[in-house]
Amino acid sequence: MGDKFTWRALVIDDEIDVAEVAAIALADDGFSVETALNGKQGLEKAARFRPHIILTDIRMPGLSGLEVLARVKRKWPETEVIVVTGHADIDSAVEALKLDASDFITKPISIDALMVATERAQERFQNRKKLKDYTRFLENGWTRTTRELLETNRYQQNLIESSMDGILGCNAEETVVTFNASLSRLLGYSRRQVINRMRLSDFFRPEEEKRLRQDLAGQGFGGINRLFMYETWMLDRSGIRVPVQLSMTRIKEDLRPQGLVCFIRDLRMIHRLQQEMADQARLLHQDKMMSLGRLAASVAHEINNPLSAVLNYVRLMLKILDRRDSETEQAQKFRRYLEVVEKETARCAETVSGLLTFSRKSDIRKENIDMAEMLEHCILLSRHRLELSQIELETDFSPHLPPVWGDANQLQQCIINLVFNATDAIGQEGKITIRATADAAGRWVMVTIADTGCGIEPEHMERIFEPFFTTKGEGQGLGLGLATTYGIITSHGGSIDVHSELGKGSTFVIKLPASRQA
């Protein structure tokens, strides 16, 4: 109890001699002692003196010892009470023990018995105090710990709910147990609809879930059982795919999986911004290409005049040779040279003339078009590029094709665009086949352009006719060619379809209505 601690004792007995003997014995043992001659006086002194131990006689006038014991325990339960009884009062002593007396001794009081009883009372008092202090410590400690845990939990919940990114947590069975407000706004589900009801797989298409699990098990995105800044698609409540970037980790304890936690970022705004920036860049490039196209048309026009002059002079020289005797070997060689010059110059002039016709902006003018003739003209304009790429060209035009009612310049633009796309897909040394047929009733004309190029990725098939969509490298295309072709064909009442296989090539089929006059 400490060196400076002094035990206090109160002796209550109506026999003054007994009270004094007990007080002297306790004082000799180091107690601070007071005495009282009846129960009432004893309670009054107890209230003032606050003794640690009370020694009380059971049989006293007025308040009995049992009544004093009962009141003391109600008011000061930590105070130890030793009762003094005669041999005939054993039943009262037992009753006292039931009222939580620490011990009892009999009269006449033995000093040794008194010392043993007080030692037991002291030990009991100390044990009670220690237990009470420990209990208070535990109560205070648990209260503080519980409060800290509640505060920590509340902070963590606020942190989760305030996160701008979506947070998804799953247990070992991959059932959702955490679903914050940001993710609720992103996917359109309420927490009540998701928590303990839905699984991780419910938010992905089967093929995307399969790829996600394969990458989670691999090393490529942050290590095994981790994905860092991983881009994929999730399904919202309406089944619409939402582009997201997620960081995911598998939680383990004792080498056993305990669940998953995912941090999810909405990429829709980022994709829109990226698309807007890309569109602006493409529009700027488109404007530059339009200016370049006008410049090319102007240059072609300027080239056409001197080419015509050269061609005319070559033909004049050939006529002069025809009028003179030119049977000499030198003259014949000169004639062959001039014929080659005439042929190649005429070819250049025809190409430039076709380029001028193709690039010239004019109002839409529909007429009956001979498809075989138009296709031959397209081949003429494309042949030089095909020869440079060492690409074989095969044609197969059905005889007696019905005419098509449309704008020849626009349809020519579509065919040439598809031929050039096929050339790009082949690269070097391949084959392009152009076929033209009609249905049995003569109502439709089908033009098929097939190549042996690289083919089209399956995920790109749905988008190839979208404006500005291109798989070509920077500076190699605007992604407007197929979109323009699609618009022209549909405006003519026709359709365009594509079939492709990676590594084997692509086939575009244009279907146009035959002229009603046919």
**Range 197-206 average pLDDT:** 94
Nearest one of 375, 379, 406 to 393, comparing CA atoms: 379
Which long-range CB contacts under 8 A does 39-47 form with residues at least 24 apart?
A: 39/12, 39/63, 39/64, 39/65, 39/67, 39/68, 41/12, 42/10, 42/12, 42/68, 43/68, 43/71, 43/72, 45/10, 46/10, 46/72, 46/76, 46/79, 47/75
343 falls in which pLDDT band (50, 70, 90)? confident
Domain boundary among 336, 361, 386: 361
Share of the chain above pLDDT 70, in %: 82
CATH number at residue 340: 1.10.287
Q: What is the rounded average pLDDT for all residues in the chain? A: 83
Domain span at 309: 272-361
**Range 80-87 average pLDDT:** 85
Encode pLDDT of 277-302 as tens digits: 877 766 665 565 555 556 556 666 66
Encode pLDDT of 409-466 as tens digits: 889 889 998 998 899 889 888 999 999 999 988 889 999 999 999 888 888 777 777 7
pLDDT at position 289 is 52
**Range 321-340 average pLDDT:** 72
Q: Is position 13 within any domain? A: yes
**Range 387-402 average pLDDT:** 90
CATH number at residue 58: 3.40.50.2300
pTM of the model: 0.36
480 and 398 inside one domain: yes
Rounded Cα distance between 161 and 433, Å, is 61
**Range 220-240 average pLDDT:** 90
368 and 357 inside one domain: no
Encode pLDDT of 498-515 as tens digits: 999 888 899 999 999 998
Nearest one of 472, 484, 482 to 508, comparing CA atoms: 482
Rounded Cα distance between 321 and 317, Å, is 6
48 and 84 inside one domain: yes
pLDDT at position 153 is 66
Instruction: Say whether pLDDT at 389 is over 90.
Output: no
503 and 432 inside one domain: yes
Annotate 317-361 with three-state secondary structure. Answer: HHHHHHHCCCCCHHHHHHHHHHHHHHHHHHHHHHHHHHHHHHHCC
User: How many domains are there within the chain?
Assistant: 4
Encode pLDDT of 319-329 as tens digits: 777 766 556 77
Identify the residue whose tokens are 């007990």.
Answer: 22
188 and 320 inside one domain: no
